[in-house]
Amino acid sequence: MQRRHFLKNTMATGAVALAATSGLLVPLKVLAWNKEAFDAKDVQSAMKGSIGTELTEASDKITIKAPDIAENGAVVPVTISSALGDVKSITILSEKNGTPLIAKFNLKGKAEAFVSTRIKMGKTSNVIAICESGGKFYSARKEVKVTIGGCGG
Amino acid sequence: MAKKSIKIRAKAKNGVVTVKALISHKMETGLRKDKKTGKVIPAHFIEAVDCDHNGAPVMNAEWGVAISKNPYLSFKFAGASGDTVKLTWKDNTGKSDSLETKVK
């Protein structure tokens, strides 16, 4: 599973780089985007699709900064930082969203284990942050209460 | 594109560059309905954000529809003032935009 994803990803980036250098901006959308994982309806398959495993180790070295109560689920500020060394990726999920996978940040080179963004949450649920460090996956969760949902109209 | 869709602030402090970026994009989920016509508004969202530091990639993000509209993004990496930071986004309709700036 892992290997297949690796192959898919390298092929996609290679194609994008090729398109960029040759000046051909063909919309290569489906190739690069991990549709399977983002369309997954439950946390397990979303995790499996994005990081290749559903097993993570709970860690207190991951800090999730998010409001306890979000008045507007359409805009929930979330900041994730980690004291784990050599973090390769940070994945954010919201447990009870229709499609739980929110984003995956692949960190490279000199990047530090820190990302901050704003997410949509359908209803009160846990925000799960997964950090990849040294080939292992660590996770932390925090509950955010949502008073107005952010999905749908 | 006439108007840039990206705003970036990059500041260096103690060898760490903090990048804050705002992208103007509607991030449509494909689940919302148009109240007047009752038709589903098609999904239109950013699915990839790449960031280069002095030409080398430091971060690439895969986004889903659950990122808020007009996305805000902040991240950090080791660097110094005067370095260049380039941010590129691409959405599911094939549109893209990028902006390069210098670290202050």
Q: Which residues of A touch B94 (CB under 8 A)?
A: 25-29
Q: Are B71 and B59 in contact (CB under 8 A)?
A: no
Say which amino acid occupies B60.
N
Q: What are phi and psi of A37, to 5 degrees?
A: -75, -40
Residue-level length of chain A: 153
Q: Who among A27, A110, A152 is closest to B58 (CB)?
A: A110
H-helix segments, A1-153: 2-21, 29-32, 35-39, 43-51
Say how far apart CA B21 and CA B89 lie, in whole Å. 11
The single-letter DSSP state of residue B44 is B
pLDDT band at B98 (very low <50, low <70, confident <90, very high): confident
Nearest CA-CA distance, residue B34 and chain A, Å = 9
Establish if B1 belongs to a structural domain. no
Interface test with A, best of B46, B53, B76 (most A CBs within 10 A): B76
Sketch the domain layout of chain A as residue ranges.
1-33, 41-146
Q: Are A103 and A117 in contact (CB under 8 A)?
A: yes
Say how far apart CA B93 and CA B54 lie, in whole Å. 28
Mean pLDDT of all residues in A94-100: 83
Establish if B21 belongs to a structural domain. yes
Q: Which residues of A touch B57 (CB under 8 A)?
A: 108-109
Q: Quote the strand ranges of chain A, DSSP E.
A: 57-58, 62-65, 69-70, 76-82, 87-94, 101-107, 111-119, 125-133, 136-146
Whole-Å CA distances, B78 to A85, B17, B32, B89, B91: 14, 6, 40, 22, 28
Choose among B72, B70, B71, B66: nearest CA to B31. Answer: B66
The number of folded domains in chain B is 1
Choose among B31, B8, B87, B48: nearest CA to A120. Answer: B31
Nearest CA-CA distance, residue A3 and chain B, Å = 18
A124-134 pLDDT tens trace: 888 888 888 88
**Taking the CA of residue A27 as centre, how many other CA atoms within 13 Å lie in the half-sphere pointing to its CB?**
10
Range of the domain at B74: 6-102
Superfamily designation of domain A41-146? SoxY domain (2.60.40.2470)
Whole-Å CA distances, A6 to A13, B10, B26, B58, B66: 11, 31, 31, 18, 24
CATH code of B49's domain: 2.60.40.10
Mean pLDDT of all residues in B5-23: 88
ipTM above threshold 0.90: no
Nearest CA-CA distance, residue B13 and chain A, Å = 14
Establish if B16 belongs to a structural domain. yes
Tell me the percentage of chain A whose pLDDT exceeds 70.
75
Interface test with B, best of A39, A43, A86, A117 (most B CBs within 10 A): A117
A41-93 pLDDT tens trace: 777 777 777 777 777 888 888 888 988 888 888 888 899 988 887 888 888 88
pLDDT band at A27 (very low <50, low <70, confident <90, very high): very low
* pLDDT higher than 50, residue A18: no
SS3 A2: helix
Residue-level length of chain B: 104
